[in-house]
Structure 1
């Protein structure tokens, strides 16, 4: 057994940290892509809306934009929340030093 306050980082915790970071980045990029497709649809394909009988095309584009914004917002909130937890844990661990 080690001394009190000895920092032990195992392979599992390191792997978990990078895995969480990777998935956060992937979800953020997916939200950005969904939002970009929605904006692209609204900006460049809006000429075809008058040819369609229903407003489904326009509604779908707005739903894509809103879904992308929501995903990006919640991923950024999750990243901020995780950073606050990490800061709190580090402050607790290194309080005596």
Structure 2
């Protein structure tokens, strides 16, 4: 497991990008749970953020690809609208403990 960040560095309903061992990732906290995905749209393979650490739509309820506007569910990464509908983001296993967030890459 690799250390991602301290738990308080990822606040509720926000997202944050990371680079670990050359892998671009992002994390979202929703309902107290943390979800981590590869920062790669299944449609064109591009990064999702439209500004640094900005991976969510204006309502902070869906992950949004800045390139073509595809929308993904935060809980499982499934694309629910856009050119890659039915495909999913690549989830990264994540655990949280008193020291912070840890990922399995």
Same fold (TM over 0.5): no
Scaled to the shorter chain, the TM-score interval is under 0.3
Q: Which has the higher contact order (CA 8 A, sep 6+)?
A: 1
- Give the TM-score, by structure 1 length: 0.22
> When the two structures are superposed, what TM-score results if normalisation uses the length of structure 2?
0.21
Which structure shows the higher strand fraction? 2
